[in-house]
Amino acid sequence: MRIIGILGGYGCLGLSFLIVYEIFARKLFNHSLQGVDEIGGYVVAITGTFGMALAALERAHTRIDVLLLRLPARVQAGLNLLSYVALGLGAAFMGYMGWRTLDESLTFGSVSSSPLQVPLWIPQLLWMAGLVLFALSALWTALRGLLALRYGLETADRVLAPPTVEDEIDEARS
């Protein structure tokens, strides 16, 4: 899964270089590549969905835990589990809608309206695959958390709860 994160990082880095080139080419040579904004949209959508999948596995999704930390440990574990189930179901719904969009693009042979004329099924397939992987990652984490609850709240926290400051320090040291 980390390889997907690394590839996504390289994709964003490549997009950054493309944008910088576009800026200089427009300013210095009055020339545009055409479609950098379109490519940027594809890169952000695709890397975003795969990045959310990776974040689900690594407990890295942002949470507002001001109230959560004041609740009893059992309630915290239940809410953490519920959050992963809701995240997975939400991503599954988005994946389903992505499938419908992809199916429509395939049916009609849709292409982008830019000079690039990209067949829309290509970025939509990658985007939908990221959404499906996101749903599976969140639901897998929820299942792991549910199974971890059999061994106690501390074990479930290591699977479901956001990392503590100590966890992040330990990870930075290793």
Mean pLDDT per 10-residue section of the chain, whose length is 174 residues: 88 95 92 90 95 92 81 92 96 96 97 93 96 97 95 92 83 82
Report d(CA 40, CA 107) in Å as an integer.
25
Select from 58, 82, 51, 70 the least CA-distant residue to 158.
58
User: What's the pTM value of the predicted model, to 2 decimals?
Assistant: 0.88
pLDDT value at position 65? 77
Q: Where are the domains of the chain?
A: 2-58+73-166
